[in-house]
Amino acid sequence: MDDYALSFWIYMGVMAVFVGGTVKKFLASHFSAMPSLVAWLGATLLVERLCALCMPAVLALAALCAACWLYSTWAAPAPTLPVEGKAVFITGCDTGFGHATAKQLDAMGFEVFATVLDLEGQGAKHLRGTCSQRLTLLQVDITQPQQVQQALINTKAKLGMKGLWALVNNAGICVNFGDAELSLMSNYRGCMEVNFFGTLSVTKTLLPLLRQNKGRILTISSPSGELPFPCLASYGASKAALNLFTNTLRHELEPWGVKVSTILPSAFKTGQSSNTVYWEKQHQDLMQNLSPSLLEEYGEEYILETKELFQSHAKTANEDLSPVINTIVEALLSPYPQARYYAGPGVGLMYFIHSNFPITLSDKFLQRLFLKKKVIPRALRKQNGLSILNHNNNDINSNNNNITKPE
């Protein structure tokens, strides 16, 4: 009996280690860990079977796993490429990911070309005051082809015969909130103009320099370009176009030795996302330009709730941009960069659910994760009210018909 109890507790201990490891990997923030998760699940099943057959084999396997864990913990980190002599072009460096990436890469010794919308703005002044002489600030609106061409001329003049190692496509905007039907056509065009056509223009312009160096292209995209987030139709559509372009480019540039990667971050506080005045202006623009019929059908209270939910979501976003910055650095210096990187907490779980669960469950997860709407559009409230009234009337008539009338 004692031998049985000992075996049972050994069994429970080993299984707890494996199951705990599986859960930990499942909740890990990076979806790129999925292969190791699958391997861990397979090992768990193998251990369970061995436990049922032969306890000494289980102990031997547990010892082997412990040795592998110790090796992975203390083993030397994966080799990276040297920084020396590498030049990187980054768009959208006034704030957010672009600003933080420019500072980080400059501190590491890269030669950085950072584009800003305003050379006299706070972001540009901060970069000018904190970074080395290696960093070059360029005033570029990526939607203006002549400014993009001028940036190419300035970059080539400073690089000389040396090619460009990498392009980080970071510049982008999210100029709307609200249902797809409520979003203004100007918002759809604005998102496409910056997020897709602007990035396309910069990429095509700098490609000769990147091919010369067999460099790489990193594009900061968004999960909303692949997952149907509520109230992000215009932004998501522009990112979807960008994702397809980037993936196509990855295939086409492989013979040239140019590596192409897409980085998909989770929610972070960047740009105007935490600016209350920005959200108020977006709300006012929508209310002023929305057709009276749509405003009547959806209702002011429905649109107001959407604005407040966006503001609330922005306030809870992560302020620490390091997961994205570290991912950019990894993609720049890895000898074999991945085609896709998932940066930030929750992205791995989100993609896992989207890829492996039924669409109805995946959609409900996104709705609860992003915007927990409570207000129903005004027209639907009226319809529901009429339905309830008609239902009650039918019940009353039915009850009247069942009453036996006196003869």
DSSP, residue by residue, 244-280: HHHHHHHHHHGGGT-EEEEEEE--B--TTTT-HHHHH
User: Contacts from 338-341 at CB under 8 Å and sequence distance 24+?
Assistant: 338/32, 338/261, 339/247, 339/250, 339/260, 339/261, 339/262, 340/32, 340/261, 340/262, 340/263, 340/264, 341/30, 341/32, 341/261, 341/262, 341/263, 341/264
- Element housing 218 (H / E): strand 216-220
Say if strands 166-169 and 136-139 run parallel, antiparallel, or are unpaired.
unpaired
Amino acid at 131: C
For residue 180, the SS3 value is coil
φ and ψ at 100, to 5 degrees?
Answer: -65, -35
- Catalytic-labelled residue, pool 235, 302, 341, 351: 235
State yes or no: is 342 an active-site residue. no
φ and ψ at 387, to 5 degrees?
Answer: -65, -45
Residues annotated as catalytic are 235
